[in-house]
Every structure is written in structure tokens, then in C-alpha cells.
Amino acid sequence: MILTRRVGESVVIDNNIIVTVVEVRGDAVRIGIDAPRSVDVHREEVYRELQEANRQAASPDSEAIEELKTFVAGSSESDTDPVT
Amino acid sequence: MLDATEETARGNIVEFVSPILGFADETSFALAPLEESGTLWSLTSTQTPGLTFVLASPGPFFPDYAPAIEESAVAGLSANGEELALLVILTVSGPIRTATANLMAPIVLAPNQHRGLQVVLADETLPLRAPLDSAG
């Protein structure tokens, strides 16, 4: 769906989400979003990056986890003995 | 006194009131320590076998990391003033020097409520992949 709106005008989605065009300057549009707390709003590219980062983080192999544990144990040792 | 195993099994279940992004169907995870120092934690789905995230207390790696979290972002935790815990998701898919932490979107927990969520912080300068190795 494509709608035309002027600055200051809004679109209502599903009764309780209001999207307002706040300002238009060149090719940039400022948008105001009034939504219930339960509705997550993200810039699309940030949202996709976060999803991707989470997928990459999911279910590391056990070898990597063991290496991480060693790394953490090693860092706390080096705090007490900076020579090694 | 409760049986220790039973207590652990019940006590460490976290209900996610808004999902870890990309994992919309996962609402229930078990939180367990990975070692004794309290730095590393595993967050394992109770719904999908094999789905685990590795979390870390950010302090030992990123001592200056103390992000401002808007109250509205964590309202879903119904924490009622309870102190919240903040952990970062680690990506450890290779040699340790490539391990990173997601400082942009940490996991915030209300331990007593057994609730958690992933918060996307308003500060866009926070890195999504901060190297662990250079941090220490």
C-alpha cells in the first residue's frame, strides 16, 4: 500500500499505531511513531543486522566455548601475575 | 530444603517478554553459569534442542560499558524497581581472537521475576561486534 501524506499528517495502523511525517528535508524524511510499548520499532537495516548478529552468535561449537573459558581463566590469572 | 537440582531447574528459567531478534518463537531459556567466576553464562532454549547463546558479564572485558537503558525499553520486565542484570551476547565461532560481544543489543534480566529481553540501545555508536581480545 502506498499513501501520500503531507508534513504533519499521519497514518493509523491497526487502531493503536500512528505514523506521522514530521519533517521533509531534501531526500530525508523524519517520521514520528506512536506505538504501544509491546510494539518493537527498529530502523530496518539495524533490525536486519541485529538478527544476523544473533544468528551468528547462536549455538557456538563446544570447542569454541572451551577456548573461551580458558581465555577468561587466563585473563583473571594475568591480573594477579602480570609477568606471565 | 528443596532438592538442589530441582531448584536449579526451576530457578534459572528465564521467560523472554520480547524475543531475541531473529528468534521470535523462543520465549523460554535456561540460564546457567559456564564457569565459576560468574563471567560466562549459557542461555539455552527450553523449546529448541541445541539452541544456545553464550553470554558474558561485560565488566571484565569492557569496564567502561555502562549503557543508559530507557525505562520504557525494559517496562516489559515488570521489575518494580528490582535491580536488573545486564549480559552481552558473545559470538565465538572460531579462534578466540575473533570472538566478539554485542554491545549494541544486550540481554537485560530481572532475576527475581525470571524475565528477560534483548534491548536495542539508543546509542548507535555502540558496536554490534566488539572484539573481546583487545578489551582485556
Taking CB atoms and an 8 Å cut-off, how many pairs form between chains A and B? 95
Choice among A59-63, A71-75, B47-51, B112-116 with the minimum mean pLDDT: A71-75
Question: What is the distance between the alpha carbons of residues B29 and B27, in angstroms, rounded to a whole number?
Answer: 7
Measured in angstroms, the CA of B99 and the nearest CA of chain A are apart by: 8
For residue B42, the chain A residues in CB contact (below 8 A) are 65
3-state secondary structure of A36: coil
Tell me what pLDDT residue B71 has: 84
Band of the pLDDT at B6, cuts 50, 70, 90?
very low
Higher per-residue confidence, A81 vs B82: B82
Q: What confidence tens digit (pLDDT) does each residue in B9-55 have? A: 455 899 999 889 999 999 999 999 999 999 999 999 999 999 999 99
Residues B52 and B40: beta-carbon distance below 8 Å: no
CB atoms within 10 A of CB B100: 22
Separation between Cα atoms, residue A26 and residue B6, nearest integer Å: 61
Query: Which residues touch B128 (CB under 8 Å, ≥6 apart)?
Result: A49, A50, A53, B102, B103, B104, B105
ipTM: 0.86
User: In this predicted structure, what is the pLDDT of residue A76?
Assistant: 64
Please report the pLDDT score of residue A1 as a whole number. 92
